[in-house]
Structure 1
């Protein structure tokens, strides 16, 4: 795992580095640090990271400005901040976790369990997915999405208006951020169950889900019976 920590208080930075090394052990491939937003932007432009740990107040600069620009990127973001009143706003933008200050090792460990998929108990989920469009960041509301399709190392977001938008995160990483109505209905698709218009059985045990836009996606055999029961209940 490649990690970047952005924190302006030296004592907290040292503690985070020590705890992360203790928790991740040999799975930590690299650990970089930044104390200012310009320094952080430079590192993010020059190298690839798996996880970003971000403070929201960096020498008086608002870390949310960086968060909004980075929410479309492939890595997961953990916010570490005393500004707990902004936690919901951070979750809305798709952070994987918000850790209030002060914190202990167990709380940091819980975040990495969430990233690794061994802790699935969440109460806050993204309300938007950020996409890049001609150099600008645009927020796509969750309720406007029909399904999300795997596209190599990225994903394609299919909106109700018929548009397709690219997202840098892989399907499995987006699934961790989205509310429960987004179900992995096929190895290559996440479906918004609240947007489904129908479920059809084809020949050779092939199943499809349809949406009001007229598009359809494949449905795995193992999910077909489960979803049929949900739709009929």
Structure 2
């Protein structure tokens, strides 16, 4: 029996998916979730084979929710998201249902999922590619959603002091602590406001509000000193670019 979780803040949308699933054999809806917080919990508990996921939801959106999951199940998006994003879904071989959708279109998505082999891992890889490359929502430009064990924290971007590369993750430092996030430095270089955050080095991005001065380190090398006392290396191209930004 394959397990399904439905995550959508609209009760009518959830009921339509439930109705379309009624006559499908060997599947069971194990949870209906009203938001991303509930969705993360349900996925951790039930470990579903498939989730139906809305994108634009209160609290945390669908993309942010997926980023909090260690092992992503197969995903069928059920969304009113714009066509540009849908092209990104298609490019990553992720199926979607554009609301309002018909039973016939729903069946196409389900059959695509059912036709996958048991050992097909491409879906999870494609989801990670989608999360890394699709256009960013405004929510993601203003906040970072992180999960520590079972606790979900929303970190305002203004609280971020600097970001450091850490293997397949990044460390996001605030004044008081740091959080791990499964993202790349390139992602945050794209999503953060370049007027407020600066890529100093391949392994560092810092908040310009926390810059106190630039110091020489060795011949032709420099570091930036933050208010906390943290020293961050500056690559040569970044040194020139930062001086130009600061007008020095």
TM-score category of the 2 structures, normalised to the smaller one: 0.5 to 0.7
1:195 aligns with 2:194: no
User: Higher relative contact order at CA 8 Å, sep ≥6: structure 1 or structure 2?
Assistant: 1
For 2:186, which of 163, 166, 172 is the aligned residue? 172
Q: CA 1:44/1:187 → structure 2, altered by over 3 Å: closer, same or farther?
A: farther
For 2:87, which of 98, 105, 109 is the aligned residue? 109
Q: Distance in 2 between matches of 1:40 and 1:165?
A: 18
Within 5 Å, give how 1:1-233 maps onto structure 2.
8=14, 36-37=32-33, 46=47, 54-55=53-54, 64=59, 67=62, 70=65, 73=68, 81-82=79-80, 99-100=81-82, 104=83, 106-109=84-87, 115=130, 124=138, 125-159=140-174, 161-180=175-194, 181-232=196-247
Query: CA contact under 8 A between 2:54 and 2:62: conserved in structure 1?
Result: no
Query: CA contact under 8 A between 1:209 and 1:218: conserved in structure 2?
Result: yes
Deviation of 1:69 after TM superposition, in Å, equals 7.5
Query: CA contact under 8 A between 1:72 and 1:132: conserved in structure 2?
Result: no
RMSD of aligned alpha carbons: 4.7
Query: CA contact under 8 A between 1:110 and 1:119: conserved in structure 2?
Result: yes
Query: CA contact under 8 A between 2:160 and 2:207: conserved in structure 1?
Result: yes
Query: CA contact under 8 A between 1:71 and 1:130: conserved in structure 2?
Result: no
Q: CA 1:66/1:145 → structure 2, altered by over 3 Å: closer, same or farther?
A: closer
Number of matched pairs: 183
Q: Where in structure 1 are there 5+ consecutive unaligned residues? A: 14-33, 83-98
Q: Where in structure 2 are there 5+ consecutive unaligned residues? A: 9-13, 21-29, 93-128
Q: Distance in 2 between matches of 1:173 and 1:194?
A: 21
TM-score (norm 2): 0.53
